[in-house]
Amino acid sequence: MDELGRLDTPVHRLDARAKVITTLIFIVVVMSFPRYEVSALMPFFLYPFTLLALGRIPFGYIFRKILIAVPFALVIGMFNPLLDRQTIASVGAWSISGGWLSFASIMLRFFLTVSAALALIACTGIHRLGAGLERMCVPQVFVVQLLFLYRYLFVVADEGARMMRSMELRSAGPRSLRLRVYGSLVGHLFLRSMDRADRVYRAMVSRGFSTVGGSASGGNGEIRVLCQTSFRWTDWAFIGGWTAFFAVARIWNLANALGRMVAGGGS
Amino acid sequence: MSHHLVEVRDLHFTYPDGTDVLKGVSFRITHGESVALVGANGAGKSTLLLHLNGYLTPTRGEVRIGDAPLTRATVVSARRAVGMVFQDPDDQLFMPTVFEDVAFGPLNAGLPPNEIEHRVVSALERVGMSHLRNRPPYKLSAGEKRAVAIATVLAMSPDVLVMDEPSAHLDPRGRRRLIELLASFKHTKIIATHDLEFVVELCSRVIVLDDGKVMAEGPTVELLNDEALMLAHGLERPHSLRHLHPH
């Protein structure tokens, strides 16, 4: 993800704020559809796909990341088909209940919003994103939390991988773990990550990072980045263009319109 | 005002869990000196180093950097004067690329972009790692990581370099390069280590630390040649001093 964030493409060169605002509008619009809507959501895939394509981000990589989060969406949507059995639509001999329709809608929205958020991070880089948020007057505490969450995720994963390896080496084959061992493992992981996080923080502090405001160095927890971008007309065009598209796609069902056009042309 | 002076006076430190780690340490290191802090594991070396840039606050006694005592008010300038190279470079390198990592300190100091660029480039050149500037730090070898970690500190142009086990995890070639690199620095150097051959080559003075106290202090060759002293504090007489003619 870090390496993708450093690519130099037209999308990467856009100001972080423009991308954040557009993505927020995107998420709000996607969420505003009624719960049985499926087809009208389809045109919205254009936004994440355009970001990824112009940003030269591999689709497969982002797709795998999305799959990690799928269980959460499944849990939210899985009872809909059971509870809501009223038939709403039918395709040929198949009748589709409202539950399945709303389930499909939830999954679609999940894919849309998560892919847009991931595309945003991949096309901006977490540090530029943090700096952008800060300039949008997001309280510094939240921005610093976000950056540390991101940074320490790798730290914890690293510790975890090392512990699993040493455990596997001593556990004689792929026997399943006893619960007690798991408990101790998780506890150790927590303590070790704490220690490591502490050392990383120490290294940051000794290079002038400080979260206490008003220090003489000016390094008061501010996230500083090298290539600070400024708002240009392309950024305005980016926000304006996409917002216009979202508005059109929200008001008219573009997928249906396209379908009618193709069908009309064919007959 | 010169920052090159480091003085520790009657330093005591007790961890919150009640472990007494430092029990009255005093020493004075002057401009341009290269001093080794040796001692067995758990002697208190790392804890002592953490006092030198104000990360830990002494329970009793004081640390003086330059002419001023290290207090909450002076901690910012002290951290700029004292560059810390930590034991594990993985703790020190946390940015997405080598360049950004080296730029982290100068950025926090609020320097203008062209000055930052200049500092990063010259720090990386100094340690011979310019070709790695766009690589992610976690993909480097141990020797490269160590060199980049040193560059991150050099970019802040410190007056004093403090290092914790700099030669740990390095292969002989990496270790040799590190010795040559450190020998070329004019900074005041404080090196905590139990690699005594490393000390023989780099440091003119040695402070032996054991059980939170300074046990001995003096010229490197004289002290490290004292077999009884070395053994008593979990160390040993370096091979190179045992045989004065190479074999």
**Res. A219 pLDDT band, cuts 50 70 90:** very low
Cβ pair A140, A27 in contact under 8 A: no
User: Is the pTM above the cut of 0.80?
Assistant: no
CATH at B71: 3.40.50.300
> What percent of chain B lies above the pLDDT cut of 70?
97
Q: How many domains does chain A have?
A: 2
Distance from CA of B228 to the nearest CA of A (A): 36
Asked if pLDDT for residue B1 goes beyond 50, the answer is: no
Check whether residue A118 and residue A144 sit in a common domain: no
- CA torsion A210→A214→A216→A221, rounded to 10°? 20
ipTM: 0.79
Whether the CB of B109 is below 8 Å from some CB of chain A: the reply is yes
Asked if pLDDT for residue B120 goes beyond 50, the answer is: yes
- How many CA atoms lie within 13 Å of B17's alpha carbon, on the beta-carbon side? 2
H/E element, A96: strand A94-97
Whether the CB of B76 is below 8 Å from some CB of chain A: the reply is yes
Q: Which domain holds residue B215?
A: 13-92+159-242
Structure confidence by residue, pLDDT tens digits, A96-130: 788 888 888 989 999 999 999 999 988 888 878 88
Q: Which domain holds residue A148?
A: 139-206
* A149 domain-assigned: yes
In whole angstroms, what is the distance from residue B151 CA to residue B157 CA?
A: 10
Asked if pLDDT for residue A213 goes beyond 60, the answer is: no
Q: Which chain B residues touch A218 with a CB distance below 8 Å?
A: 109-110
Check whether residue A126 and residue A237 sit in a common domain: yes
Contact across the interface for B96 and A210, Cβ inside 8 Å: no
* A116 domain-assigned: yes
Check whether residue A93 and residue A144 sit in a common domain: no
Closest CA to B28 of B11, B14, B45, B50: B11
Check whether residue A35 and residue A116 sit in a common domain: yes
- Higher-confidence residue: B165 or A197? B165
Give the per-residue pLDDT at B139.
82
Asked if pLDDT for residue B207 goes beyond 60, the answer is: yes
* B143 domain-assigned: no
* A12 domain-assigned: yes
Asked if pLDDT for residue B103 goes beyond 80, the answer is: yes
Structure confidence by residue, pLDDT tens digits, A223-249: 566 555 677 888 888 888 898 888 888
Q: Within a 10 A sphere around the Cβ of B227, how many other Cβ atoms? A: 13
Closest CA to A40 of A92, A109, A89: A109
Looking at A57-216, list the stretches that DSSP marks H as alpha helix, in order from N- to C-terminal side.
Answer: 59-77, 80-83, 98-124, 126-135, 140-170, 179-206
Average pLDDT, chain B: 89
Average pLDDT, chain A: 80
Check whether residue A122 and residue A21 sit in a common domain: yes
In whole angstroms, what is the distance from residue A247 CA to residue B212 CA?
A: 70
> What percent of chain B lies above the pLDDT cut of 90?
51
* A223 domain-assigned: no
Check whether residue A73 and residue A42 sit in a common domain: yes
Q: How many domains does chain B have?
A: 1
* B207 domain-assigned: yes
B160-164 and B188-193: which strand pairing?
Answer: parallel
> Which position has the token pair 């400024």?
A230
Nearest CB to A199; choose among B91, B109, B116 = B91
Q: Which chain A residues touch B156 with a CB distance below 8 Å?
A: 207-208
Highest mean pLDDT among A161-175, A226-240, B27-41, B136-150: B27-41
* B104 domain-assigned: no
Say how many CB pairs under 8 Å bridge A and B: 79
* A215 domain-assigned: no
Check whether residue A119 and residue A192 sit in a common domain: no
